Amino acid sequence: MNIAVFASGRGTNFGAIIRAVKKGTIKAYLSLLVCDNPGAAAIGRARRAGIKVALIKRKDFASKQEFEAAIIRHLEENKIDLIALAGFMRVLSPEFVQRFKARILNIHPSLLPSFKGEEGIKDAFEYGVKVTGVTVHFVDEEMDHGPIILQKEIKIEETDTLESLESRIHKVEHKLYPEALKLFVEGRLSIEGRKVKITSR
C-alpha cells in the first residue's frame, strides 16, 4: 500500500508517520509528500528520509480545480492508496474528496465535533473546557466532520499554559495518528453510516 502525506508546515505528524513506517509499525510505503509551501519544514523531513516531494503551489494555478488536478496527477503517478492530511492548510474540494472517498484521513487537535477549524487547541483553552483531546477521522465534504476513527482525551490542568497544552496534545497526536493509519493499512476499518467499525485481527 502506498501512502501520501499532505503537509504545509513543520510536519511533526509527518515525522511520526515516517518513524512508524521505518519501525514497521505501519507496513506500507510512504511514497509521497504533497506540500503547497516551499518554506515548510516538512520538505526537509521528506528529503532526509528519501521520500519524494511534490511541491504544488496554489498561486501557480488559475483555479482550485487546476491546483487539485495537479495534485491528482502526482497521486496517480505514484499509485497512492491512502492520503494522510497532516497540517495541510487547504480545504479540499468536495470533488476531490469524492474521488478518494474513504481513503483520506485527517488529524485534528480537539475532541470533534467540538472546536473545529485551524485554532482547535487555542479555542478549547480559551473557552475554559476541562477536557480536550485529539481526533483522527475520515475526511468528508465538510470541514473537520467525517466519521471518527480514534479519539484520545486530554485533561486541561489548572497549571497549563497554551504552550504546555499544545506540547501535550502534539505528543498524543504523534501516537494516535500512526495507530489509525496502521488500522487502515491492515484493513481493519469500515464505515457504517456515520460510524467507523474497527475489526480485531
Tell me the domains of the chain and their CATH numbers. Answer: 2-198 (3.40.50.170)
174 has catalytic annotation: no
> Which ranges constitute the DSSP H helices of 11-103?
12-23, 41-49, 64-77, 94-99
Collapse the DSSP code of 58 into the 3-class scheme (helix H, G, I; strand E, B; otherwise coil) and give the result.
Answer: helix
Q: Are 125 and 115 in contact (CB under 8 A)?
A: no
Q: Are 18 and 49 in contact (CB under 8 A)?
A: yes
Element (H, E) at 30: strand 29-35
* Amino acid making up residue 17: I
Instruction: Summarize pLDDT for 124-165 with one digit per residue, the tens.
Output: 999 999 999 999 999 999 888 899 999 999 999 999 999 999
Instruction: Summarize pLDDT for 48-98 with one digit per residue, the tens.
Output: 999 999 999 999 999 999 999 999 999 999 999 999 999 999 999 999 999
Which residue has 500512526 as its cell numbers?
A: 178
Using left for φ > 0, alpha for ψ between -120 and 50, and beta otherwise, residue 173 falls in alpha
Q: Which of 74, 108, 137, 174 is catalytic?
A: 108
